[in-house]
Amino acid sequence: MKHLVAPSILSADFANLQRDIEMLNKSDADWIHVDIMDGVFVPNISFGFPVVKAVKQHALKPLDVHLMIVDPDRYLNEFKEAGANNISVHFEACIHLHRTIQKIKELGCRAGVAINPHTPIAQLSDIVEDIDLVCMMSVNPGFGGQKFIESTYRRIRELRLLAQDRNPNLLIEIDGGVNHQNSLSLLQAGANVLVAGNTVFGADDQMASIKQLKDVSITRKAV
């Protein structure tokens, strides 16, 4: 399968959000990545339901919602109603992760688990067959524009190996510090979804930057 590109609107111009969503509609982007931060799970607050609903009104592409919030079960219905197509919850924020994943699926969304850079990949061993995607953090969550953490390559390979028997179609999404220098290596390691904030919205030609991420082509290495 051709990899997917999901620009993160955390780096968009919030004063011109409709313009930026319309740019994404016309671009080669596959999903629109939407970061929700509560100021508790991460040291930053982004935006909530009214903004997600407003984005949904203009978006022609699926909303890939990444919940960086504690106890996300409280808000799954609301995010579905606001327009989420994919919902990822943090491994570190869920006490009953299996139940949370079942709930996301019952809502008709793709179910994802996001994992912090310090959390061992092996912790996903007993949930990997129940999920559609892993949002692998390649920075510490909370802010756009951070430096990519190099151990991510090893972690992608480890996750691909873990998933190969139990969920070979698992989507491995890399979130944080993705750019035109590391995109090929990430795909070669086994990722198949690239999230990019600053690389897209910080570019002079944003649509060209998305196209460049989308056009990376690989011969996949055996894991």
Ligand X SMILES: O=C(CO)[C@H](O)[C@H](O)COP(=O)(O)O
Q: Which residues of the chain form contacts with ligand X (CB under 6 A)?
A: 8, 10-11, 33, 35, 66, 139, 141-146, 175-178, 195-199
At 161, list the tokens. 């190996």
In the annotated binding site, the residues are: 8, 33, 35, 66, 142-145, 175-177
Cα(137)–Cα(144) distance, rounded to whole angstroms? 12
Name the residue number minimizing CB distance to ligand X. Answer: 197
* Contact criterion met (CB below 8 Å) for 46 and 9: no
Shortest Å distance, C-beta 203 to ligand X: 11
Catalytic residues: 35, 175
Shortest Å distance, C-beta 93 to ligand X: 13
Q: In whole angstroms, how far apart are CA 24 and each of 63, 164, 175?
A: 12, 32, 18
Is the Cβ of residue 36 or residue 97 nearer to ligand X in the bound state? 36
In the annotated binding site for a divalent metal cation, the residues are: 33, 35, 66, 175
At 137, list the tokens. 């953090």
* Contact criterion met (CB below 8 Å) for 6 and 31: yes
Shortest Å distance, C-beta 63 to ligand X: 13
Is the Cβ of residue 21 or residue 195 nearer to ligand X in the bound state? 195
Is the Cβ of residue 111 or residue 137 nearer to ligand X in the bound state? 137
At 127, list the tokens. 């949930």
In the annotated binding site for substrate, the residues are: 8, 66, 142-145, 175-177
DSSP 91-155: GGG-SSHHHHHHHHHHTT-EEEEEE-TTS-GGGGTTTGGG-SEEEEESS-TT-SSPPPPTTHHHH
Query: CA neighbours within 13 Å on the CB side: how many for 187?
Result: 22
Shortest Å distance, C-beta 208 to ligand X: 17
